[in-house]
Amino acid sequence: MTMPNPRKAYPPIDPFRVGRLDVGDGHELYYEECGNPAGRPILFLHGGPGSGASPQHRRLFDPARYRIILLDQRGCGRSTPLGRLEANTTWHLVADLERLREALSIERWALFGGSWGATLALAYAETHPERVTAMILRGVFSGRRAELDWFYQSGANRLFPDHWENFVGQLPADEQGDIIAAYRERLTHQDRAVRAAAASAWTQWESATVMLRSEPVPVGRGPVSDGTIAFARIENHYFYHELWLEDGQLIANADRLAAIPGVIIQGRYDVVTPAITSWQLAQAWPRAEYRIVEAAGHAFAEPAILSALVEATDRFAAG
């Protein structure tokens, strides 16, 4: 796919409404609405798990035509309590999305998600297909064991041996057979300093691999924020539990998406979520258009990926 006239993000906007939703289990979610209150409802699902939504994400949609809904999932961003792992699973989040839809009096909405956001979009759409009008997915992650092993055990390390050495170097040799479990011990440790050191290494590995071309990642510089610790804890928590999904479940159940149109956008050189997963999903979901972006990795902000995403949201804006 070539981009002779690349699209850019829409100008910055502020929410017209901000709210908090009590979803039980001690969790309260932050959400916001932007754009046109009478526009087509679309829900942005952030990645991670654990990262949270940002003002940049609002700019993926035409504010004149979309009612843009963003939320921070359990334990993330502006939701509280920050970093909490209890009652925080994929299926809690699927239920949260239904609570939010009902709270906003939305009958049906479109979904937009990349990476883990695509995972959650698929889990929700396969559970509530009658509530979904369309989906735009990027860098699909389906949570299979092979996908986790590729990034956290043996696969991506062959492309980034220098960054991998920094990542696994935090662990003694006898714990490197299960890196996700070894990091879980540290990210749930009582001592904040232990959690912070583990979170720093965990997030640096991801930051080093997310872009096709990126600046060198500083190693171990500066204090580690509570938000960084929360992100690493939640992401590791989900991966340790294999996202509470049967292996291959989301692709096996793609027939439930039969009535939902969609676009899948995939960076050719995506190392975090390699193209094989999105390709297999596209084969199982006939109404999805599959678009490979050649000069790109995983991140939504890479120019060619961003252009393809804005083009897709524009195409679905009319409903």
Just list the catalytic residues.
Answer: 115, 270, 298
Give the distance, in angstroms, between the CA of residue 106 and the centroid of all CA atoms in the same chain: 23
Distance CA 264, CA 141 (A): 12
d(CA 270, CA 34): 30
- The two tokens of residue 122 are 């698929």
- The partner residues of 289 in beta bridges, in order of sequence, read 263
- Residue 130 CA to residue 108 CA, distance in Å, equals 8
Alpha-carbon distances, residue 84 vs 28, 171, 223, 231 (angstroms) = 11, 24, 21, 10
Structure tokens at 234: 């939640």
Q: Which residue has the tokens 């232990």?
A: 194
- DSSP assignment letter at 281: H
What's the CA gap between 1 and 7, in Å, rounded?
14
- The DSSP H or E segment spanning 208 is helix 192-209
Q: How far apart are CA 106 and CA 37, in angstroms?
A: 11
Sheet hosting strand 132-138, strand order edge to edge: 17-24, 27-35, 66-71, 40-45, 109-114, 132-138, 262-267, 288-293
* 266 to 77, 197, 199, 245, 304: CA distances (angstroms): 26, 32, 27, 23, 10
Please tell me whether residue 234 adopts helix, strand or coil conformation. Answer: helix
d(CA 275, CA 277): 5
